[in-house]
A = this chain, B = another copy of it.
């Protein structure tokens, strides 16, 4: 007999996977005076809870960067069935942010600290004329690229390295050693997809790696420059950040 169970509100933790078109947002993380993904989702949860609810993302994404599988968690005392959360949050969000799935998580789960692996994908459009339907989701680079050199360059990034040269100077973390498990450039119709998997990423790291691969393909940066950049940690040896609209946070693994 459970006389007390109706009134007892136990806290539950939920983990949601979310896709978003980052075009009109100043990135994931809450910022003063600029619309962000986190802010939109927290507002949606506030409407459901009638009080502020904080979410914790797997990490930030920059202004204009998209996500196919960003993950966040939140805690709630509301007794909404697991299968109804996705619809409830989506009903309070704009169409450019869509919760894909929401499941209950153990209370010690943390969307940021429990991450095992992250996958990013960067889309390059190679057609002679830019594609108007892909302009918000690709970087148009119609110039000739030496694909063999690019393939060789990808191999230099695999494994554990100090990525200081391949991150923004604005990055304020101390330890800049990260492990890249996979870096591949895969053709797909008139696009190239750069697939990058690692245990963690520094600020702007994927975009600088992609920018560097492009410069390698154009013949402006050599494989030796990349090796030197890992040793000297000199940001000036490598490419500029590729623009945000080609980048997708694709998958977070726990």
Contact = CB atoms under 8 A, between A and B. Distances in A.
5 contacts: A19-B131, A19-B133, A95-B130, A97-B132, A99-B129
Contacts of A129: 86, 90, 98-100
Contacts of A135: 21, 95-96
Q: How large is the interface on A (under 10, 10 to 19, 20 to 34, 35 or more residues)?
A: 20 to 34
B99 A19 contact: no
Contact of A95 (B86, B95, B96, B132): B132
A230 interface: no
B19 A98 contact: no
Contacts of A131: 19, 98
Contacts of A137: 133
Interface of A: 19-21, 66, 68, 86, 90, 95-100, 129-133, 135, 137
Q: Within the oligomer, what is the number of copies of this chain?
A: 2
A129 B100 CA distance: 6
A132 B96 contact: yes
Nearest to A18: B132
Nearest to A21: B132
Contacts of A20: 132
Contact of A133 (B21, B100, B130): B21
Nearest to A96: B132
Contacts of A96: 132, 135
Contacts of A21: 132-133, 135
A99 B130 CA distance: 9
Contacts of A90: 129
A101 to B, nearest CB: 8
A132 B137 CA distance: 11
A216 to B, nearest CB: 27
Contacts of A66: 133
A132 to B, nearest CB: 4
A21 B137 CA distance: 13
Contacts of A98: 129-132
A20 B135 CA distance: 11
